[in-house]
Amino acid sequence: AQTVTQSQPEMSVQEAETVTLSCTYDTSESDYYLFWYKQPPSRQMILVIRQEAYKQQNATENRFSVNFQKAAKSFSLKISDSQLGDAAMYFCAYRRGQAGTALIFGKGTTLSVSS
C-alpha cells in the first residue's frame, strides 16, 4: 500500500523568507502523480502544485516550487518570498496513475508566517 509521510507537524517562517516543507512517500508503482494542497483557516482545499512522476523537471508555480527526487521518493515544497497569506496547513498527496483513483494524503504541516 502507498503511504505519504510529512515529518514536520509545524513550521514557521518570516515574511519574505524561504521555507521548505518535507514529504516522502512509498510506492512500488512507476506511474503516479504528486500534489501539494493548501488548507487555510477557511477549510477550503486549494491545489498549490502538482508533479508527474515521469517528468524529471521540477514543477514551479510562481513562488512555489518542488524538489522531486524520484529515487529517494522525496517531494518537498519550497515557498519563496513568504507572505502572511501563505499561513495554512499544507498537505502532500499521492495518486496512482490510473484515472479515477483517490488521493492518499500525508498528515499535514502547519505553516505559520510572522511579520
Partner 1 sequence: NAGVTQTPKFQVLKTGQSMTLQCAQDMNHNSMYWYRQDPGMGLRLIYYSASEGTTDKGEVPNGYNVSRLNKREFSLRLESAAPSQTSVYFCASSELREWNNEQFFGPGTRLTVL
Burial 40-67 (b: 16+ CB within 10 A, else e): eeeeeeeebbebebeeeeebeeeebbbe
- Pick out residues in 70-109 that bind partner 1 (CB under 8 A): 91, 95, 99-108
Backbone angles phi, psi at 96, to 5 degrees: -65, 165
Stretch that binds partner 1, among 16-24, 45-53, 59-67, 74-82 (CB under 8 A): 45-53
**What is the C-alpha R_g of the chain?**
14
Question: Given the complex with partner 1, which of 101 and 114 has the nearer CB atom?
Answer: 101
Stretch that binds partner 1, among 12-20, 46-54, 60-68, 76-84 (CB under 8 A): 46-54
**Which residues sit opposite 90 in a β-bridge?**
38, 109
**Residue 64 near partner 1 by CB under 8 A:** no
- Pick out residues in 9-38 that bind partner 1 (CB under 8 A): 9, 33, 35
Whole-number Å distance between alpha carbons of 107 and 95: 15
Closest separation between CB of residue 12 and partner 1, Å? 18
Of 58, 82, 80, 71, give the one whose Cα is nearest residue 26: 71
Contacts with partner 1 by CB under 8 A lie at: 4, 6, 9, 33, 35, 42-45, 47, 50, 52, 91, 95, 99-108
